[in-house]
A and B are shown apart, each in its own frame.
Chain A
Amino acid sequence: MLLPRFEYYQPSDLGEACQVLAELGDSAAILAGGTDLLVNLKTRKASPEHLVALSGLDQLKEINNGGGSLRLGSGVTAGILADGPDTLSSLTALIQGAASLGSPQIRNRATVGGNLCSARSAADLIPPLLVLGAKLVLASSKGEREVDLNDFLLSGARTILAPGELLTAIKLKAPAAGSGSAFIKLGQRRAMEIARVNAATSIALAGDGKTIQSARVALGAVAPRAILSQKAAQLLKGQTASEELFAQAGQAAVEDASPRTCHEFKCEVVSVLTRRCLMQSWQQARGQAS
């Protein structure tokens, strides 16, 4: 399979990248790891005249940790996340999501920014980042803006990213003591697979170590975009954690899911994955609290 013709740019700093993107507008596609884009080019699903490669922007590969917050460059690869470096060890759901993405070869190239901007409903890094409350930094020649990941995603693998705009970083609050998160993916095989359903949850326990101060449940591949289940989050808030409660939350999550295919099967899976993720999140939260 051959690639179509295009012109290639490799800006050496962010300012230059924003300028090039502003000039090229709609005619340019951004090349990060290329594991989605090159497939789309080869299969003629995308046909940009220009590719703007981010490989020259070293700052996008940085992970910064300080003052209770984490800043992940958009060019950090899934492979680096999956290795679970010390700075990210509290972000269990994100590490699990990254480890389940593609194959070793894909993980070594695929970037967190690419996964978010491709914005597929089954993307493995989106549910983890939704439950971890990620904020995205978007840069363009006009300046920077910051948006919640939940507001960034649109239906049908689209985002609010404007032509000429670039996702540069993902900002996360370091989870407090007494909190935990988890991610589970169901596919037909255990590797190199697009999720049939995936789910992530996070739980923050109150000082008593039992009451759920807040919880989030995110689901992938059961709606036109990855979603946060408000019904599950509301049901969990303020309640005493238990396996029974988590089973109820699983049922509540099903109400927010609207899978287009295999409705009955996927709804059952949503309920089970939500319950299992919540159990894992809870165990981790308790472990940290004690």
Chain B
Amino acid sequence: MSKHQITLMVNGLERELLVEPNRTLTQVLREDLRLTGTKHGCGIGDCGCCTVLMDGQAVNSCLLLAFEAVGHEITTIEGLADGNRLHPLQDSFIELGAIQCGFCSPGMILSSKALLANNPSPTEEEIRMGLSGNLCRCTGYQKIVEAVHDAAQKMKGASS
């Protein structure tokens, strides 16, 4: 099993890497690119801590070979803020106390971003279903749902 040269597009930047075929996108993001905002949780697609966006869609990066991400645009939590200006979702999560230990937050926020891109005014039920692939073991789901709702309002206000 030899290393192959691949190019990944991560947060708008082209990154050239030497990667073995059995490495997941989670590993390459964290270990090679030092983008440790993406968390490694269960490793089998249950917890959603490793969620990143691929072409705008939420995916579990622990179940994605880095090779399979070639040719797609990857967004991690590090790619969300605009310089020092946080994304409205990040603001709302902080303001409404939707972050406790913080381990699930990157995945929660990226799943929320994918949800709001398709559905700018989700109901509470739609928010809960949109986040159904993300576990929070501090069990702070209520505040997370409220934060997504709050961010949706802000984002609608900003775009109108």
Spell out A's residues near B (CB within 8 Å).
1-8, 10, 31, 34-35, 38-39, 42-43, 51, 53, 55, 79, 102-106, 108-109, 190-192
Contact = CB atoms under 8 A, between A and B. Distances in A.
A51 B114 contact: no
B44 A1 contact: yes
Interface string B16-39: 000011111000000000000000
Contacts of B129: 104, 190-191
Given A7-B1, A104-B58, A191-B132, A55 B68 contact: yes
A43 B45 CA distance: 13
B124 interface: no
B44 A34 contact: no
24 contacts: A1-B62, A5-B22, A6-B21, A7-B1, A7-B21, A8-B67, A34-B63, A34-B65, A34-B68, A38-B45, A38-B62, A38-B65, A42-B43, A103-B132, A103-B133, A104-B129, A104-B133, A105-B48, A105-B58, A106-B45, A108-B57, A108-B59, A109-B64, A192-B132
Contacts of A39: 44-45, 63
B133 A34 contact: no
Contacts of B24: 3, 38
Contacts of B68: 31, 34, 53, 55
Interface residues of B, number: 31
A6 B45 contact: no
A275 B129 CA distance: 26
B58 to A, nearest CB: 5
B5 to A, nearest CB: 13
B130 interface: yes
Contact of A105 (B20, B22, B59): B59
A104 B130 contact: yes
Contacts of A31: 65, 68
Contact of A51 (B21, B48, B57): B21
Interface of B: 1, 20-24, 43-46, 48, 51, 54, 57-60, 62-65, 67-68, 111, 114-115, 129-130, 132-134
A18 to B, nearest CB: 20
B22 A3 contact: yes
Given A35-B63, A108-B57, A109-B60, A192 B133 contact: yes
Contacts of A35: 45, 60, 63
Nearest to A103: B133
Contacts of A51: 21
Contacts of B132: 103-104, 190-192
Given A106-B60, A106-B133, 18 more contacts: A1-B44, A1-B62, A4-B22, A6-B22, A8-B65, A34-B64, A38-B64, A102-B133, A103-B48, A104-B114, A104-B115, A104-B132, A105-B45, A105-B133, A108-B58, A109-B64, A191-B132, A192-B46
